[in-house]
Structure 1
């Protein structure tokens, strides 16, 4: 299977939103995944980061939203006490989702590895993410790529989350 990883464009926003909703409906526990709206998706194509999509046979199978929070209050660097001078070097692996029919093909890993390559070239040092403690599938994908749990706390309207960090 030849999966192509590419940056998402405006014409992909609706499909990414559909995949988010499909994953949210299919997920084992609704606490594990927070779906975003199309405005959020569009903002990350144009100004707040970038989105990578995994495409097979001209169909998007999954995506990864990478958020560049800079000094915004939701920067996960604040949660772990990162020095203010380093906050501009933080990137969030904000949201990653794969269609249920495409799971088990290593797509999340491919998306993450490509994002890390881009972020390393762009001078980012601190890659961060949040994962629900019960979502062992996503957690194993992150830890398998060298992310470590550095804190567990309530985020996103009181939902329990591990905060993960990888220094590149």
Structure 2
């Protein structure tokens, strides 16, 4: 078992610990993923991974962590060093070919439904970001379905920006987000445009003109993306 990398408390005062996961944790990972999947009101918002895909992640170097209450895993989060192919998110983000080996994916994050509301998803994301080898990796990319508000909020809190909106995963519309780890956020801007999340065409035009999605907000029961450059 790997060493503990963090100890903290849930809102109810229970102490949890965080450690890197290994192939030995695969049964716990699959069990938690299945529980999360069945609890979702819209299962299509989750892109579940197969055992083989988890094995690939777990064979990497400390790219997956789990949150535990004693021996019970209540959350996990993974990053992945992806293969370079035509579907690479770095291409969608506009990176040149020589930068693609420096990209990691924020791959999957699951939190036991009983322990939602404790900020564990973003907590794990920050832990992983802090521990990345920034000499080797310069970018973190992810995809999120429009209207998957918790996941969008999580990625934006981790410093990612929406850089594309396009069909991925056999035709499913997805935001592509990227965090450039070497850049400091300059929020002294800038031109800002607010567009309804329902208006895919307007968002795509905005992104193609050099804007990036920097935040989301709700107004009159509709969600909007704030784009800036």
Q: TM-score, normalised by structure 1?
A: 0.92
1:145 paired residue among 158, 169, 172 = 158
Deviates more, 1:149-158 or 1:40-49: 40-49
Q: Answer whether contact 2:65 2:76 (CA < 8 A) is retained.
A: yes
Shift of 1:48: 8.0
CA contact (8 A) 1:92 1:128 kept: yes
Measure how far apart 1:50 and its partner are.
2.4
* Structure 1 residue runs without a partner (length 5+): none
Give the secondary-structure state (helix, strand or coil) at the position aligned to 1:3.
strand
Flag the structure with larger Rg: 2
Provide the residue aligned with 2:24 in structure 1: 11
Cα RMSD, aligned residues only = 1.7
Structure showing greater relative contact order (alpha-carbon pairs closer than 8 Å, 6 or more residues apart): 1
* Aligned length in residues: 168
Higher helix share: 1
1:59 counterpart = 2:72: yes
2:20 touches 2:62 (CA, 8 Å); kept in 1? no
The unaligned stretches of length 5 or more in structure 2 are: 1-8, 10-14, 182-229
State the shift of 1:130 in Å. 0.8
Q: Go from structure 1 to structure 2 and tell me whether the alpha carbon gap of 1:6 and 1:143 turns closer, same or farther (over 3 Å shift).
A: same
1:33-112 to structure 2, matched below 5 A, reads 33-47=46-60, 50-112=63-125
Q: TM-score normalised to the size of structure 2?
A: 0.69
Deviations 1:97-124 (A, max 9, x none): 1110111111111210111112244531
